[in-house]
Structure 1
Amino acid sequence: MRRRGRRRPLVWVALVAASVVFLYPFAWLLSASVKPGEQVFDNALFPQQVVLGNYAEIWRAAPVAAWLFNSVAVSLAAALTATVASSLVAFGFAYFRFPGRNALFGLVLATMMLPGAVTMIPVYLIWNEAGLASTQVPLWAGNLFGSAFYIFLLRQFFLGLPRELFEAARIDGASYWTLFWRIAVPLCKPAMVVTFVFELKASWSDLLKPLIYLRDPALYTLPRGLKALSDQFGQVGEQRWEIVLAGSVLTTLPMIIVFFLAQRHFVDGISTHRRTG
């Protein structure tokens, strides 16, 4: 107990130091976004002059509202489809006993070893053949087939559930869908939230797919729109980095809010995964 009492201040100091390191870039971004253009890169954490008009300027310079709506729609669709599809596949691997189950699951996990750049061109050709290459559909519809990482994560949670619950429900006449929807999903709600938040964040901050598929500025997501703003205001003679940084803050804030709203379920999901793993 004495050793723990002595170590606790050191742990707090280490945590505070790590927090400062991780928070400093965002603090700098927030500070630079409210500075005049000539003071953006002066390395001062506290601005000498606060210019809130940078945020009003970005709304006038670009259709930020439309980009925000597109990002919300695409991210929610991607997170929902990834969570539902991956949980269905994960439950199948956890509950059903069939020949070759482990080999098939290993094959699913092996797809995690494929870099995204390897499948980028074949996937684009598939969407192009379907006539959807210039729409927002490729940004989320690929999740209808699940994700190997999320399948692995959710399978571990489902394996931690007592099998007797499912067997008793089967004796009472419950269907396989009832086992999944009425028993597995409520008991693994934290894991579902973790999956949803992970994919929501990944889709929200994704720039590569919008760069590949989106051509119409009206369909841009926030990261793609921010890239367009950077190309516009980052050129020599037209440099207005304060506008670009204000857009970066607008892109970052929603995910911070989502994390704080889902923090309890997120932490519960991670701790439950450690116990069941």
Structure 2
Amino acid sequence: MAHRRALCVGINVFKHLPTATLQGCVNDAHDMAALLTGSLGFAPEAVTVLCDRAATRKAILGQLQHLVKAALKGEVSELVFTFSSHGTQVRDLDGDERDRLDEAFCPHDLAAASEGWKPDTIITDDELRTLFSALPETVTLEVFMDTCHSGTGLKGVDPNLLLSPFQPRPRWLPPPWYAAPEPDRALDRPPERVRQPANQVLWTGCRADQTSADATFDGRANGAFTYHFLRALREGGPGQTRTALRDAVRARLKAAGFRQIPQLETDAAHRRRGVLA
């Protein structure tokens, strides 16, 4: 058990964007940490939780780099990273995205610039991919992203929804330069995907063309994906396959009236196993 470590991040409050406040992300982080140290058997000291002010870009990447270094030293065999916050986009600089936009994730210190987000206040999917690619094949990485991980097709999202505490809100921040996609960027085409390494498992709260909801359940705020993931896991037990768990979470969300469809990206072998098994 000493060889299992985790980082759980939840950000409700954004230093430079007070109107972008969310409600359930901090609860998500603590709930996922409780799952890990409870039924999944992680040692409490092996799980780090970063929330709000503590969850800056520097702190998040610093903790992830620390975990990767530990893995390279042979001190870690299983890593978990959970992230609940806003998703957004930045301009694609390396040409790996068909719509010329990179998926990005918002830390507490996110700040706008004239042409988008300040680079030193955002975390891109390319940065995470590069960081995690250094992991040895013997180390299993399981990532949970309860955030809108792409803005494809989101031209109808009203950022003013972020101001209302009375209804589910999308965990999505339009970039300062955001505009509807150009006609030649067909929205019915699937986004470019990098093949998931065999030792990595990625859970996302929605498809690339959807939003992940920040909602209230029985008077307590959570991400809709995180809330229903935890309950489906509790009902079916950690021994259920990841595919069965994904399907159970999807069914729960649909029954509750949410349109988002969680995604599971990994190889066939990991799909047939239980979470962190």
TM-score normalised according to structure 2 size: 0.24
Quick check: which one's strand share is greater?
Answer: 2
TM-score normalised according to structure 1 size: 0.24
Between 1 and 2, higher relative CO (CA 8 Å, sep ≥ 6) is seen in 1
